[in-house]
């Protein structure tokens, strides 16, 4: 018999620090200027140019922000591990 874990009625909340947000905002500004010539990217009707990725591990939370073009910045707070 196969063991399966189902999560029902769970709410997950992830937070970023002010420092992490400032790093992402600075990276986005530079990234948009250098890679996209400050031109808006069309990524569909609902947007989604940037996505936050949160990966919970046994030692801490990995945090990164990804552009739809494929580039990303890792803003994981290693000091919190």
For 36-62, the pLDDT digits (tens) are 999 988 888 887 899 999 999 999 999
**Average pLDDT, integer, range 8-23:** 90
- Specify the DSSP element, H or E, that contains 36: helix 18-36
Order of strands across the sheet with 72-74? 50-56, 61-67, 72-74
For 24-40, the pLDDT digits (tens) are 999 999 999 999 999 98
Domain ranges of the chain: 47-81
What is the percent of the chain where pLDDT is above 90?
69
The pLDDT assigned to 70 comes to 95
């Amino acid at each position: 018999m196969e063991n399966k874990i189902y999560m029902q009625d769970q709410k997950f909340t992830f937070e970023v620090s002010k420092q992490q947000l400032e790093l992402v905002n600075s990276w986005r500004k530079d990234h948009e200027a250098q890679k996209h010539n400050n031109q808006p990217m069309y990524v569909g009707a609902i947007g989604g140019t940037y996505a936050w990725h949160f990966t919970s591990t046994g030692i801490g939370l990995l945090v990164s922000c990804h552009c739809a073009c494929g580039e990303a910045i890792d803003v994981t707070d290693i000091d919190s591990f």
